[in-house]
Amino acid sequence: MTIAVIAYELPSDRERTGGVSHFNHRLCNRLVEMGHRVTAYSVRTADEVQEASYRIVTVARDAAGGRLRRYYAAPLVGRKLNFDGYDLVLSSGDDWAMKRSRRPWVRIMHGSAWREMTHNKRMLRKANLLVQYALEQVSAARSDITLFNSGDTRKLYPKRSGDRVVHLPVDTRRFTPGVKNGAPTILFVGGLDSRKRGRWLLELFVTRIRPAVPQAQLWMVCEPSESAEGVTYIRMASQEQLADLYRQAHVFCMPSTYEGFGIPYLEAMASGTLVVTTPNPGAVEVLGGGQYGRIVDDEGLSDALIESLRSPGSHAKWTEPALRWARRHDWSVMVNELLQAGNRTRRDQYAINEG
Question: Quick one: pLDDT at residue 18?
Answer: 78
DSSP 330: B
**Contact yes or no for 197/220 (Cβ under 8 A):** no
d(CA 264, CA 253): 9
Same fold, 2-169+331-354 and 185-327: yes
CB distance 116 to 129 below 8 Å: yes
Q: Are 275 and 265 in contact (CB under 8 A)?
A: yes
User: What one-letter code names the amino acid at 348?
Assistant: D
Collapsing DSSP states into helix, strand and coil, what is residue 165? Answer: strand
Is there a contact between 246 and 175 (Cβ–Cβ < 8 Å)?
Answer: yes
- SS3 string, 29-48, reads HHHHHCCCEEEEEECCCHHH
**DSSP reduced 3-state for 153:** helix
Q: Which of 175, 127, 167 is nearest to 147 (CA)?
A: 167
Would you state the CATH architecture of domain 2-169+331-354?
3-Layer(aba) Sandwich (3.40)
Alpha helices (runs of H) in the chain, residue ranges in sequence order: 19-33, 67-68, 74-77, 113-118, 123-142, 151-154, 198-204, 210-212, 239-248, 263-270, 281-286, 301-310, 316-327, 331-354
User: What is the pLDDT at residue 349?
Assistant: 58
What single string gives the DSSP state of each residue in 182-224? SS-EEEEES-SSSTT-HHHHHHHIIIIIHHHSTT-EEEEESS-
HSE of 65 in the Cβ direction (CA atoms, 13 Å)? 4
DSSP state of 162: T
Domain boundaries, the chain: 2-169+331-354, 185-327
pLDDT, averaged per 10 consecutive residues of the chain (355 residues), comes to 94 80 94 96 91 93 68 88 94 91 91 90 90 95 94 93 92 94 95 93 98 98 94 91 97 94 95 97 95 98 98 96 95 88 68 49
Q: What is the pLDDT of residue 17?
A: 79
Burial, 47: exposed, middle or buried (Cβ in 10 Å; 0-12, 13-18, 19+)? exposed
Answer for the pair 267, 296: CB distance below 8 angstroms, yes or no. no
> What's the start-to-end Cα distance of the chain, in Å?
26
Q: Which fold is adopted by the domain 185-327?
A: Rossmann fold (3.40.50)
Cα 147 to Cα 150: distance, rounded to the nearest angstrom: 9
**CA pair distance 299, 210, nearest whole angstrom:** 17
